[in-house]
Amino acid sequence: MLSLRPSLKDAIWGGFRLFERYRKGSGERLAESWELSTHADGHSRLSDGRTLQDRLSMEPWLAGGSAHQDGTIPILAKLIDARLPLSVQVHPDEDSARRHGELSGKTECWYILDADPDAWIYHGLRKSLTRTELEQHVREGTIESVLRKVPVHAGDVFFIPAGTLHALGGGILCFELQQSSNVTYRVFDYDRRDHAGKPRRLHLQEALDVATLTPTPREIPGLGQPRTIKGLTRRMIVCCDQFAMEELTLNGEGVVDVPRRQFAGLFLVKGQCRAVSWRPQSRQTGEDELLLTPGQTAFLASQESILLRGKARAFLFSP
């Protein structure tokens, strides 16, 4: 069990909720907090300053075979504060990513933590288009007219398969679980300018090569019903080929067991709890212990059993 320190990112659409709610940063504008990451663009770090990737490269058994030889892992978890709308964008799938020289595609899932009353997202197309029709809408700046606009509220979950045209609207704080990729192809950016006063780059041809031209299903793969054992209620939020995530509601005590060939991440959304290493055979606690407060993330090693004590809400996620 390892306590993680995030990699913090700013962007022109970022805000201040990450500091206000989770005390990320020191009050400056922030767009993202990469909570669990071995990606080169933003590493999670341990309490001793080393990166999580460094630790996993030296002790690969911690990831149960889910890490590559260099210590990188296939998922990335982050917080996003969209004070302003993000660009309309799309991410490649595995095959498309490799054709463009990238290591991984990017399927993702959003859990809306907070949203302004009129908040919305774009989630795929409203109707099927040809490639020519999509290109025409992008070139004419009318892409928003063919996107499905969905009102959002705290607690909503959205599955964004690779290839889906999408965007977070303004006034949203969300938790995102995704494949470990930072490849984004923008198709519309509200004519915004970067710090140098230049329009931010769009990626028309790359986007056309990977975009899905039919509406994206609203259904979430693996979404389940709550189940309670003693003081812990668990609900599967998403379960797909790329990752899985559960919502945990703790009211007392509960045990989380990490499978043999996996690792897990634990993000505390609300409340407070103690996470203690647990020996199921003897039903005794071990020496490892973390006090988790809102906004903290822990890495749970393969085959690790953790006893949670407290009153809290958390996300448990794994590849």
Q: In terms of domains, do 174 and 205 share one?
A: yes
Q: In terms of domains, do 149 and 10 share one?
A: yes
Residue 7, H or E segment: strand 7-9
Cα–Cα distance measured from residue 154 to residue 113, given in angstroms and rounded to the nearest whole number: 5
Strand order of the sheet with strand 166-168?
147-151, 120-125, 166-168, 88-90, 185-188
Is residue 13 assigned to a domain? yes
Q: In terms of domains, do 205 and 288 share one?
A: no
Is residue 221 assigned to a domain? no
Of 177, 210, 243, the residue at which a domain comes to its end is 210
Q: In terms of domains, do 61 and 170 share one?
A: yes
Q: In terms of domains, do 120 and 183 share one?
A: yes
Is residue 196 assigned to a domain? yes
Is residue 106 assigned to a domain? yes
Q: In terms of domains, do 167 and 120 share one?
A: yes
Q: In terms of domains, do 192 and 115 share one?
A: yes
Q: In terms of domains, do 64 and 182 share one?
A: yes
Is residue 31 assigned to a domain? yes
CA 293 to chain centroid, in Å, comes to 19
pLDDT of 271-315, one tens digit each?
Answer: 999 999 877 655 656 568 899 999 999 999 999 999 999 999 999
Cα–Cα distance measured from residue 50 to residue 223, given in angstroms and rounded to the nearest whole number: 36
Q: In terms of domains, do 204 and 249 share one?
A: no
Is residue 216 assigned to a domain? no
Predicted TM-score (pTM) above 0.85: yes
Cα–Cα distance measured from residue 29 to residue 119, given in angstroms and rounded to the nearest whole number: 20
Q: In terms of domains, do 173 and 237 share one?
A: no
Give the domain range for residue 246: 227-318
> The domain that contains 255 carries what CATH number?
2.60.120.10
Q: Are 296 and 269 in contact (CB under 8 A)?
A: no
Q: In terms of domains, do 234 and 160 share one?
A: no
pLDDT of 237-266, one tens digit each?
Answer: 999 999 999 999 999 999 999 998 899 999
Is residue 220 assigned to a domain? no
- 193 burial (CB, 10 Å; 0-12 / 13-18 / 19+) is exposed
In 3-state terms the chain splits into helix, strand, coil percentages (rounded to 5) of 15, 45, 45
Q: Is the pLDDT of residue 193 over 90?
A: no
In the set 17, 83, 186, 192, the catalytic residue is 186
Name the 3-class secondary structure at 184.
coil
Per the annotation, the verdict on 186 as an active-site residue is yes
Is residue 116 assigned to a domain? yes
Q: In terms of domains, do 270 and 144 share one?
A: no
Going by C-beta distance under 8 Å and a sequence separation of 6 or more, which residues neighbour residue 135? 204, 208
Q: How many domains does the chain have?
A: 2
pLDDT of 196-224, one tens digit each?
Answer: 888 888 899 999 999 999 999 999 999 99
